[in-house]
C-alpha cells in the first residue's frame, strides 16, 4: 500500500520524531519570540507543573470521555510542546465508559509533583462519580490505575497543595448540573500522601450574584507566606481570571481580577496554571474558547504588583465594563521565557504514516477502547473496523470506534489514502470531521460497486438523522477470488480542508466559525472538489475532531474495514 503514496506529497517529518514541526501552526518564531496560542488545539482546562529536574514542564488537560485520556505534553521552554503520554488508558468504571459518554469523564485535571515522595499526581473530578487520582514516578512512564478517593456528585476541578509542613489540601469547584449549586470554591484536607480525605469541605469563595459568577477551575499554590487560589470566573466564552490570597488555606481570601480581554479580541482568557521559573520569571498558561476549534492554549508573562500577579501585558484594563487595577490583557507576540537555554522547535504530532505497531499519541477514541474498533499492523497501515450500528441507530454520536484527533490550526488540510474493504452491502469508511454536527466523505458498497458519499448530520447530539449525498460511483479496485466470505476493495485518496471564517455574534462578541470542503482523487495527484460545504461545529465540551470513520448496519455479517495507509495534516 505504500508504493505509490509518495506521489501525492513529499513526506512530512516522521510522525514520531523528537522535533516534529507542524506545517500549519508553530508558535516559536525562531528569533527569541513566540506567537500565541502556544498550542492551537483543544487542550481544554490546561494545567502545568515543573518536573523533578526543575527543567521540564508537563501539561495535562481535560479529556472527558475520550481515550486514551489525560494527555501528557512535555516542554523545556513552555513554548515548544510534544505529546509524550496519556495517564489513563481507559476510564473507570470500564463498562460505564465502554460507550460514549459525551461531556462526562475527566473534567479540569491538575498535575503536580510532590517532592516529599518524588511522585507525580493528577487529580480530576468526574462530575457523576467523584474525585479521582492517578500517580507516577515518571510522567512519561506508567501511571497507576485511577482511584476514586472522594465519591460524590458535582465535585469537579480539583487541585492539591502540599504545604511546607507536609500537610495536603484540596481545592475544588462544584457542578450545578449535579450538585444543584455552583460558583463556589471549597477547600478540605487530605492525608499527607494525598490519597484520602481527612477533613470536611469549607467554602472559601462564593461568586454568586457578582461578576465572578461561574467561579470554577481553581488552582492552589503557595508563595512565601501567602496561599493563592487562581480561578476563572464570568463564564467560559467571555470571562476573566481571578487571583485570590490568604494567610490560611481556609481563608478568608481577598480577590482581584488579573487577566481579561481588555482591548484585544481574545475572548474569555482564563483557567490554567502558574509557573515560577529558576530565572525568577513567572508565567501563566491558560485557554481561549474558540468554539468549533475547542479551547486552545495561551501563554502569558506575569509580573507582581503590590503582591498581585498581573497577567499578560499592560495593566489596569477593563473587565465587565470597568477598569481593574491589576488586570492585564493577552499578548500576541512576546519574548520567550528565560529558561537558560534555547531549545529546538517542537510541536504536537498530527500526521501519521501508520508505520509502527503503536498508534500515534495524537489519536483518541470516543469511549474506552475495544479491540474490535481497530488495530495497527506491521504492514504500514492502520485497520479500522466498521462500527456496527445499533438497532435504534440515528447517527454516529453512539459510536466509540471513531479514530479522531484534535484540529491543529485555524486553517489546514487533512488527507488520507485509504482502501475500503466491504464484505456486505452498506459497509463504508472514509474521512470525517466530527462534532455535534458532523460530515464524512466515504466509500460505501452498493451492490457490486462503491458509491462516494457525503454523510452529514446536524444536531447529532439530539438524535437527528443523517443525510446522504451520492457524489460518484466507482468499480472496485479489486475483488476476492475465493468464494468464502468474498469482499470488494476500493482504494481512494480523501481530503478535507478547514478554513477559518471568524465573524461576530449579534451581541458583538467573537465568533469562531470554520467551513469544511471535501475533495477526492484516484491517483493522489489531482483532487476533485466534491460535496457540500460544511460548517464545522464543536462536540460536547470539546472542539471538533478530524479523523477516520467506518460503519455498517446492524447485523450478523462479517465486518467490513478501512485500511488507512497514512493521514497527513498540511497547509
Q: Nearest to residue 405, comparing CAs of 350, 348, 353, 457?
A: 350
Q: Dump pLDDT digits (tens) for 221-242.
A: 999 999 999 999 999 999 999 9
CA-to-CA distance for 160 and 165, rounded, in angstroms? 14
- Asked if 513 contacts 503 with a C-beta cutoff of 8 angstroms, the reply is yes
CA-to-CA distance for 10 and 31, rounded, in angstroms? 27
Residue 9: the pLDDT is: 39
Question: For residue 204, is pLDDT > 70?
Answer: yes
- Asked if 273 contacts 219 with a C-beta cutoff of 8 angstroms, the reply is yes
Three-state DSSP state, 527: coil
Q: What percentage of the chain exceeds 90 in pLDDT? A: 94
In terms of DSSP bridges, do strands 545-552 and 387-388 run parallel, antiparallel, or are they unpaired?
Answer: parallel
CA 302 to chain centre: 25
Within the chain, what is the greatest distance between any pair of CA atoms? Answer: 81
| Secondary structure of 306-330 in HEC code, one letter for each residue | CCEEEECECCCCEECCEECCCCEEC
- Sequential DSSP letters for 159-197: EEEE-TTS-EEEEEEE-HHHHS--SEEEEEEE-TTSSSB
Question: For residue 1, is pLDDT > 50?
Answer: no
Phi and psi at 373, nearest 5°, equal -65, -40
* Neighbouring-strand partners of residue 131: 125, 150
Residue 557: the pLDDT is: 86
Question: For residue 98, is pLDDT > 70?
Answer: yes
Q: What's the whole-number mean pLDDT along residues 199-223?
A: 97
CA-to-CA distance for 464 and 445, rounded, in angstroms? 24
Burial class of 278 by CB neighbour count within 10 A (0 to 12, 13 to 18, 19+): exposed
Residue 388: the pLDDT is: 97
Phi and psi at 294, nearest 5°, equal 90, -155
Residue 416: the pLDDT is: 98
- Sequential DSSP letters for 558-571: PP-EEEEEEEEEE-
Q: Dump pLDDT digits (tens) for 459-478.
A: 999 999 999 999 999 999 99
Q: Ramachandran region of residue 314, left (φ > 0), alpha (ψ -120 to 50) or beta?
A: left
Confidence of residue 498 (pLDDT cuts 50, 70, 90): very high
- Joined together, the cell numbers standing for residue 547 give 479523523
Long-range pairs, 299-308, Cβ under 8 A, ≥24: 299/34, 299/36, 299/37, 299/38, 299/78, 299/79, 299/334, 299/337, 300/259, 300/269, 300/328, 300/330, 300/331, 301/331, 301/334, 302/274, 307/226, 307/245, 308/243, 308/245, 308/256, 308/258
CA-to-CA distance for 437 and 433, rounded, in angstroms? 9
Q: Dump pLDDT digits (tens) for 422-469.
A: 999 999 999 999 999 999 999 999 999 999 999 999 999 999 999 999
Residue 507: the pLDDT is: 60
CA-to-CA distance for 414 and 567, rounded, in angstroms? 7
Question: For residue 260, is pLDDT > 90?
Answer: yes
CA-to-CA distance for 536 and 28, rounded, in angstroms? 28
- What average pLDDT is seen over the chain? 95
Count of CB atoms within 10 A of residue 193's CB?
Answer: 15
Residue 10: the pLDDT is: 38
- Asked if 396 contacts 402 with a C-beta cutoff of 8 angstroms, the reply is yes
Amino acid at each position: 500500500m505504500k508504493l505509490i503514496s509518495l506521489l501525492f506529497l513529499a513526506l512530512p517529518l516522521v510522525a514520531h520524531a523528537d522535533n516534529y514541526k507542524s506545517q500549519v501552526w508553530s508558535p516559536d518564531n525562531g528569533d527569541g519570540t513566540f506567537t500565541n496560542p502556544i498550542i492551537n488545539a483543544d487542550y481544554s482546562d490546561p494545567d502545568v507543573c515543573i518536573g523533578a529536574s526543575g527543567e521540564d514542564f508537563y501539561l495535562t488537560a481535560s479529556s472527558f470521555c475520550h481515550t486514551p485520556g489525560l494527555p501528557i505534553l512535555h516542554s523545556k521552554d513552555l513554548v515548544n510542546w510534544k505529546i509524550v503520554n496519556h495517564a489513563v488508558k481507559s476510564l473507570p468504571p470500564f463498562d460505564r465508559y465502554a460507550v460514549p459518554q459525551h461531556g462526562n469523564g475527566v473534567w479540569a485535571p491538575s498535575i503536580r509533583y510532590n517532592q516529599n515522595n518524588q511522585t507525580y499526581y493528577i487529580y480530576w473530578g468526574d462530575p457523576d462519580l467523584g474525585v479521582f487520582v492517578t500517580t507516577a514516578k515518571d510522567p512519561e512512564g506508567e501511571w497507576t490505575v485511577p482511584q476514586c478517593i472522594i465519591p460524590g456528585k458535582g465535585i469537579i476541578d480539583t487541585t492539591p497543595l502540599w504545604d511546607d509542613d507536609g500537610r495536603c489540601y484540596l481545592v475544588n469547584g462544584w457542578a450545578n448540573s449535579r450538585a444543584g449549586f455552583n460558583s463556589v470554591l471549597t477547600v478540605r484536607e487530605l492525608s499527607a500522601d494525598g490519597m484520602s480525605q481527612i477533613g470536611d469541605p469549607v467554602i472559601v469563595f462564593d461568586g454568586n450574584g457578582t461578576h465572578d459568577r461561574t467561579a470554577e477551575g481553581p488552582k492552589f499554590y503557595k508563595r512565601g507566606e501567602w496561599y493563592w487560589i487562581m480561578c476563572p470566573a464570568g463564564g467560559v466564552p467571555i470571562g476573566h481570571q481571578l487571583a485570590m490570597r490568604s494567610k490560611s488555606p481556609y481563608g478568608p481570601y481577598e480577590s482581584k481580577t488579573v487577566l481579561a480581554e481588555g482591548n484585544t479580541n481574545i475572548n474569555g482568557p482564563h483557567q490554567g496554571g502558574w509557573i515560577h521559573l529558576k530565572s525568577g520569571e513567572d508565567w501563566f498558561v491558560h485557554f481561549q474558547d474558540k468554539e468549533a476549534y475547542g479551547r486552545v492554549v495561551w501563554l502569558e508573562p506575569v509580573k507582581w504588583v503590590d503582591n498581585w500577579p498581573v497577567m499578560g501585558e499592560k495593566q489596569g484594563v477593563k473587565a465587565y465594563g470597568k477598569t481593574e487595577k491589576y488586570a492585564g490583557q493577552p499578548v500576541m507576540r512576546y519574548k520567550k521565557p528565560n529558561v537558560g537555554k534555547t531549545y529546538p522547535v517542537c510541536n504536537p504530532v498530527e500526521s501519521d504514516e501508520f508505520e509502527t505497531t503503536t498508534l500515534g499519541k495524537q489519536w483518541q477514541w470516543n469511549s474506552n477502547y475495544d479491540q474490535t474498533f481497530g488495530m495497527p499492523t506491521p504492514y504500514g497501515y492502520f485497520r479500522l473496523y466498521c462500527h456496527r450500528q445499533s438497532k435504534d441507530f440515528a447517527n454516529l454520536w453512539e459510536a466509540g470506534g471513531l479514530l479522531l484527533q484534535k484540529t491543529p490550526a485555524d486553517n489546514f488540510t487533512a488527507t488520507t489514502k485509504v482502501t475500503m474493504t466491504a464484505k456486505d452491502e452498506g459497509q463504508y469508511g472514509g474521512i470525517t470531521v466530527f462534532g455535534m454536527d458532523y460530515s464524512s466523505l466515504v466509500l460505501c458498497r452498493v451492490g457490486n460497486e462503491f458509491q462516494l458519499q457525503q454523510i452529514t448530520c446536524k444536531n447529532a447530539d439530539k438524535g437527528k438523522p443523517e443525510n446522504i449525498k451520492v457524489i460518484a460511483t466507482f468499480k472496485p479496485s479489486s475483488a476476492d477470488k475465493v468464494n468464502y466470505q468474498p469482499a470488494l476493495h476500493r482504494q481512494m485518496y480523501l481530503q478535507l480542508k478547514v478554513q477559518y471564517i471568524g465573524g461576530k455574534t449579534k451581541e458583538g462578541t467573537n465568533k469562531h466559525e470554520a467551513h469544511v470542503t471535501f475533495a477526492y482523487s484516484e491517483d493522489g495527484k489531482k483532487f476533485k472538489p466534491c460535496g457540500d460545504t460544511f460548517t464545522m461545529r464543536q462536540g460536547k465540551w470539546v472542539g471538533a475532531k478530524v479523523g477516520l470513520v467506518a460503519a455498517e448496519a446492524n447485523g450478523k455479517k462479517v465486518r467490513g474495514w478501512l485500511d488507512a495507509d497514512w493521514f497527513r495534516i498540511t497547509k
